[in-house]
């Protein structure tokens, strides 16, 4: 078999991926880019209007509300989730009796991340007559309808995101188990305390993993949809308090049938995520340390 034939065999194996990429990814993205420049409602031919959809976004108060809600959700839920997952991973690092069962139990909620069942469970848990209020009533505290109050609805979704920390925990756990125990033994001989070991040994050595988890969780948080859709009934909650960007985009596209406007919103979201990711990569050289890094 000559070089050309071997290349053809290689491309044949790549064909399923290439078809999926061009047909299911690239073509829809190019179509969306075109529709974002049109007035399109899916029932009549699109009418080209240039950048008018993007200009309308600047005057859309609902768009501004969805940005505010989404940024609040991202910048509260992601750091808290990562901190919580790292703390739990640190506690579950050492092998003890039954430790695998504990690890599985902590990881279990993340398996249902974004599922309808979990969103319904959360809605029942924090409703006016939910289990959380019944727990508060034991201590004589009068609870509220947490998901129907503008001041608390978003924070119930933030708590839900933090609760589903299992995926980050597993990655942190794998990184922690790769740190040589010699470092800790040497620091123990020097009388270094646990907190200083954590800040001077553990954190610097796992900064690449922190960076990876941070980027992935931020991207996922910007695309959060199911909990807000189920808990708010697809309306955005009281006073748009849970109107996530993805939910607003969905309502615009499939309830109002403003597909051109929704396509513009999708590209703005892509640019926002891309800009934040780029800033994280630029900042990583100041706080992310790699083992093979030249001094």
Strands (E) located in 3-119? 38-39, 47-48
Token pair, residue 190, equals 């020097």
**Separation between Cα atoms, residue 269 and residue 257, nearest integer Å:** 19
More confident residue, 100 or 271: 271
**pTM, entire model:** 0.90
CA distances from 141 to 83, 136, 138, 159 (A): 29, 5, 7, 20
| Res 173 pLDDT > 70 | yes
| Res 112 pLDDT > 80 | no
Amino acid 123: pLDDT = 87
Helices 153-163 & 61-91 angle (0-180, nearest 10): 40
Amino acid 295: pLDDT = 45
Non-local (6+) Cβ contacts of 123 within 8 A are 147, 230, 231
- The terminus-to-terminus CA distance of the chain in angstroms comes to 48
Reported as a pLDDT band with limits 50, 70 and 90, residue 148 is confident
Reported as a pLDDT band with limits 50, 70 and 90, residue 96 is confident
Please name the residue that has the structure tokens 């941070």. Answer: 214
More confident residue, 103 or 282: 282
**Whole-number mean pLDDT of the chain?**
90
Please write the tens of the pLDDT for every residue from 22-75: 999 999 999 999 999 999 998 899 999 999 999 999 999 999 999 999 999 999
CA distances from 213 to 68, 75, 119, 168 (A): 23, 14, 23, 6
Reported as a pLDDT band with limits 50, 70 and 90, residue 219 is very high
Q: What is the CA 99 to chain-centroid distance, rounded?
A: 27
Token pair, residue 110, equals 């993340």
Among 78-92, 131-145, 198-212, 256-270, which stretch is predicted with the lowest mean pLDDT?
131-145
Mean pLDDT of 105-125: 82
Neighbours of 171 (CB within 10 A): 19
**Residues 225, 250 contacting (CB under 8 angstroms):** yes
| Res 293 pLDDT > 80 | no
Q: Which domains can be identified in the chain, with CATH numbers?
A: 59-287 (1.10.3720.10)
């Amino acid at each position: 078999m000559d070089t050309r034939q071997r290349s053809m065999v290689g491309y044949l194996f790549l064909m399923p991926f290439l078809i999926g990429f061009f047909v299911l990814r690239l073509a829809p993205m190019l179509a969306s880019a075109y529709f974002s420049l049109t007035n399109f409602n899916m029932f009549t031919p699109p009418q080209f209007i240039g950048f008018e959809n993007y200009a309308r976004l600047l005057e859309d108060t609902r768009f501004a509300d969805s940005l505010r809600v989404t940024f609040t959700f991202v910048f509260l839920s992601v750091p808290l989730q990562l901190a919580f997952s790292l703390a739990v991973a640190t506690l579950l690092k050492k092998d003890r009796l039954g430790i695998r069962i504990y690890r599985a139990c902590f990881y279990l909620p993340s398996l249902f991340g974004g599922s309808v069942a979990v969103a319904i469970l959360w809605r029942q848990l924090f409703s006016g007559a939910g289990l959380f209020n019944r727990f508060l009533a034991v201590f004589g505290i009068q609870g509220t309808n947490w998901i129907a109050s503008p001041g608390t609805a978003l924070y119930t979704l933030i708590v839900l995101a933090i609760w589903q920390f299992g995926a980050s925990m597993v990655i942190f756990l794998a990184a922690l188990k790769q740190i040589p125990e010699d470092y800790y033994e040497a620091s123990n001989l020097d009388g270094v305390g646990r907190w200083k070991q954590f800040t001077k040994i553990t954190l610097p050595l796992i900064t690449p993993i922190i960076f990876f988890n941070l980027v992935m969780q931020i991207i996922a948080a910007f695309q959060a949809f199911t909990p807000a859709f189920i808990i708010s009934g697809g309306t955005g909650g009281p006073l748009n308090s849970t109107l996530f960007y993805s939910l607003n985009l969905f309502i615009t596209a499939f309830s109002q049938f403003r597909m051109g406007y929704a396509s513009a919103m999708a590209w703005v979201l892509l640019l926002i995520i891309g800009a934040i990711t780029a800033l994280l990569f630029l900042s990583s050289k100041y706080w992310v340390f790699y083992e093979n890094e030249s001094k």
